[in-house]
């Protein structure tokens, strides 16, 4: 790895670390509130047999994934948008960095933020009193967190490059990821849904991602864990190739 790329990567990580009160803390706080409010209020009323664990533990992987998705996407999309808006993206475009290096710098930066948030939520839930949540397979868990944060960070790069306004970036988050996540089984098991709704859930990639993390943490396998991993890896690879191509050609960022 050369100094040029490592410096850029350091800049991207340093950016969200410096702004941790805006980037890390709110994500942890909102997840904590979800867990406490939903877990405590609803959890006590739902029989444990439905989920093979307590309801509070059941929703943890979904909430961690929700945070990973939002944070990794927001990081790369807003970093690029800000750099475009204030024109300091030019410093990166004129630097001796290839399109692949620039896209990887943004992607890894965003993925790190997602990974940190996801990991911190899981750890927070393990050490929280009154929960029986635990991580059964840390290696697989980190692999899921990494591939999903990588996927959405790469998608954030694509949208960051293409978007003309902050509005467009927010729209993806509010109108696409948020519904897909909520309908991806964060708060319920697939078995609780009618057949038609189950079939719809199965075409939602976020459902597979959440299920994968639920398997790696709680060993609950509703659908194939291997397919979940393949989906995560496929999307992360596809979006990385597209993001890299955009920077290589300068689409929408070079005249």
Partner 1 sequence: MNAIEISSLKKTYDTGDEALKGIDLNIKKGSFFGLLGPNGAGKTTTIGILTGLVNKTSGNAKILGYDIINDFKLARKSIGLSPQEINLDVFFSIRQILLFQAGYYGVTQKLAEKRVDTILKKLDLYHKKDETSRHLSGGMKRRIQIAKSLVHDPPILILDEPTAGVDIELRHMLWDYLKELNNSGKTILLTTHYIEEAEKLCDEIAIINNGEIIKQGETKSIIKEVSLNTIEVEVDKPSNIKLSDDFDFSIIDNIIKIQTKEVNKEITKIIKEIEQTTTISNINIINSSLEDAFLKLTNK
- In the region spanning residues 10 to 39, those forming contacts with partner 1, defined by CB under 8 A, are 10-11, 14-15, 18-19
Cβ of residue 135: shortest distance to partner 1, in angstroms? 34
- Three-state secondary structure of the chain: CCHHHHHHHHHHHHHHHHCHHHHCHHHHHHHHHHHHHHHHHCHHHCCHHHCCCCHHHHHHHHHHHHHHHHHHHHHHHHHHHHHHHCCCHHHHHCCCCCHHHHHHHHHHHHHHHHHHHHHHHHHHHHHCCCCCCCCCCHHHHHHHHHHHHHHHHHHHHHHHHHCCCHHHHHHHHHHHHHHHHHCCCCCCCHHHCCHHHHHHHHCCHHHHHHHHHHHHHHCCCCCCHHHHHHHHHHHHHHHHHHHHHHHHHCCCCCC
Judged by CB under 8 A, the residue of 6, 29, 42, 226 near partner 1 is: 6
- Report the residue number, 45 or 254, with the smaller CB distance to partner 1: 254
Judged by CB under 8 A, the residue of 2, 45, 129, 191 near partner 1 is: 2
From the list 42-50, 80-88, 136-144, 188-196, the region that binds partner 1 by CB under 8 A is 80-88
- Report the residue number, 3 or 127, with the smaller CB distance to partner 1: 3
From the list 84-92, 106-114, 115-123, 169-177, the region that binds partner 1 by CB under 8 A is 84-92
Residue numbers at the binding site for partner 1 (CB under 8 A):
2-4, 6-8, 10-11, 14-15, 18-19, 82-83, 86-88, 90-98, 249-250, 254-255
């Amino acid at each position: 790895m050369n100094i040029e790329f490592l410096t850029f990567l350091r800049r991207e990580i340093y950016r969200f670390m410096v702004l941790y009160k805006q980037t890390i803390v709110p994500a942890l706080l909102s997840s904590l509130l979800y867990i406490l409010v939903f877990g405590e209020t609803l959890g006590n009323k739902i029989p444990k047999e439905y989920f093979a664990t307590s309801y509070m533990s059941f929703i943890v992987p979904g909430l961690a994934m929700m945070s990973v998705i939002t944070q990794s996407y927001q990081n790369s999309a807003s970093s690029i948008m800000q750099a475009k808006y204030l024109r300091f993206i030019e410093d990166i475009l004129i630097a001796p960095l290839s399109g692949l290096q620039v896209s990887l710098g943004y992607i890894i930066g965003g993925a790190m933020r997602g990974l940190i948030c996801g990991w911190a939520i899981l750890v927070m839930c393990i050490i929280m009193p009154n929960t029986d949540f635990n991580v059964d397979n840390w290696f697989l868990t980190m692999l899921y967190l990494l591939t999903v944060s990588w996927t959405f960070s790469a998608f954030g790069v694509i949208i960051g490059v293409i978007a003309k306004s902050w509005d467009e970036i927010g729209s993806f988050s509010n109108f696409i990821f948020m519904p897909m996540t909520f309908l991806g089984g964060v708060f319920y098991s697939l078995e609780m849904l009618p057949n038609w709704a189950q079939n719809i859930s199965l075409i939602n990639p976020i459902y597979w991602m959440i299920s994968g993390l639920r398997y790696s943490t709680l060993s609950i396998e509703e659908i194939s864990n291997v397919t979940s991993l393949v989906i995560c890896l496929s999307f992360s690879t596809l979006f990385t190739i597209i993001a890299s191509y955009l920077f290589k050609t300068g689409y929408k960022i070079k005249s």
